[in-house]
């Protein structure tokens, strides 16, 4: 009896230690992977259905990214093609010292360097002037040659007289404006026979007006060229360094003045007149 009770108790304890649902545990527990031991919730076929869709999703995402990038690039290229090209003007920044950038200035007009066709001359220093008689003065070199020339002419029976020599700017003002007004001459008309102040060769101390002592009526007239004094001067003046300032058809277009002579017998006198003449020809 006691044996029977103990046997029943052992059977009862054995039943309690077994799983409640024996039909669900037909195989051994160690034959099932640890991840699949919790019933049917994590079967391999379900895992596959979850893992398989990941590849197409990634492909679609990459495709969309490529399409988006291509579309953006297309829009940028299109915008660049349609945008107007603005050209920035090239500014010449060359300085005035740059010979390439400097525009050449035109030659000065002769009108800029003369007044009524007369050229500008500086007044001779008073210390350079000496007397040639009769109250007239010339520069030293010109005075010496002029007196020698007059003496040579007289020795030949020709009487050369002095009408005018050095004149200051103030002297020229009176001669040009005052005498011109007395004679009713406009400046353009007066300039045909007299230079404006600061534009007379007489300022230099190298110019002299001469006459013929035997024919004074020809003084300061164009018919002076018919006198013995003029003819002698034409033949001999160059020997003493003198030349006619305003011959016929002269380049300054000053009226013909056979009585007006100038000394060009040294470098200073030569430069004084020929530099002025070159200036007029620019």
Domain carrying residue 186: 171-203
Q: Evaluate whether residue 48 is within a structural domain.
A: no
Residues 192 and 219 in one domain: no
Q: Tell which residue, 204, 192, 205, has the closest CA to residue 246.
A: 192
Residue 35, pLDDT above cutoff 50: no
Q: Evaluate whether residue 121 is within a structural domain.
A: no
Banded pLDDT at 192 (limits 50, 70, 90): confident
Residues 187 and 217 in one domain: no
SS3 (DSSP) at 260: strand
Residue 23, pLDDT above cutoff 60: no
Residues 147 and 239 in one domain: yes
- The CATH number for 235's domain is 3.30.1380.10
Pick from 37-46, 80-89, 188-197: least confident:
37-46
- Residue 161 pairs in a beta bridge with 211
Residues 264 and 253 in one domain: yes
Q: Evaluate whether residue 186 is within a structural domain.
A: yes
Q: Evaluate whether residue 24 is within a structural domain.
A: no
Classify each residue of 151-166 as buried b or exposed e, where b means 16 or more C-beta atoms within 10 Å of its C-beta.
eebeeeebbbebebbb
Q: Evaluate whether residue 27 is within a structural domain.
A: no
Q: Evaluate whether residue 259 is within a structural domain.
A: yes
Q: Evaluate whether residue 73 is within a structural domain.
A: no
Handedness of CA 119, 123, 128, 133 (dihedral sign): positive
SS3 (DSSP) at 212: strand
What are the pLDDT digits (tens) for 225-267?
999 999 999 999 999 999 999 999 998 889 999 999 999 999 9
Domains in the chain, number: 2
Q: Evaluate whether residue 263 is within a structural domain.
A: yes
Residues 197 and 222 in one domain: no
Residue 133, pLDDT above cutoff 70: yes
Residues 199 and 210 in one domain: no
Structure tokens at 190: 């007066």
Question: What's the confidence (pLDDT) of residue 46?
Answer: 47
Residues 146 and 211 in one domain: yes
């Amino acid at each position: 009896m006691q044996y029977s009770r103990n046997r029943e108790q052992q059977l009862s304890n054995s039943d309690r230690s077994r799983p409640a649902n024996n039909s669900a545990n037909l195989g051994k527990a160690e034959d099932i992977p640890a991840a699949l031991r919790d019933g049917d919730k994590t079967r391999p076929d379900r895992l596959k259905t979850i893992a398989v869709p990941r590849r197409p999703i990634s492909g679609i995402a990459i495709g969309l990214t490529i399409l988006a990038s291509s579309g953006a690039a297309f829009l940028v290229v299109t915008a660049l093609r349609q945008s107007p090209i603005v050209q920035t003007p090239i500014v010449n920044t060359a300085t005035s010292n740059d010979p390439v950038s400097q525009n050449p200035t035109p030659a000065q007009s002769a009108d800029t360097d003369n007044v009524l066709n007369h050229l500008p001359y500086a007044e001779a220093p008073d210390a350079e002037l000496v007397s040639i008689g009769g109250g007239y003065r010339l520069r030293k070199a010109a005075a010496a040659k002029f007196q020698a020339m007059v003496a040579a002419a007289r020795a030949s029976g020709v009487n050369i007289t002095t009408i005018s020599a050095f004149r200051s700017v103030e002297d020229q003002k009176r001669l040009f404006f005052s005498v011109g007004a007395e004679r009713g001459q406009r400046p353009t008309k007066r300039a045909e026979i007299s230079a404006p102040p600061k534009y007379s060769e007489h300022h230099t101390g190298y110019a002299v007006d001469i006459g013929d002592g035997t024919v004074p009526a020809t003084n300061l007239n164009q018919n002076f060229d018919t006198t013995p004094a003029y003819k002698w001067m034409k033949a001999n003046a160059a020997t003493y360094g003198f030349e006619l300032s305003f011959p016929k058809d002269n380049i300054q277009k000053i009226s013909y003045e056979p009585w007006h002579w100038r000394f060009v017998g040294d470098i200073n006198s030569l430069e004084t007149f020929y530099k002025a003449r070159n200036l007029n020809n620019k």
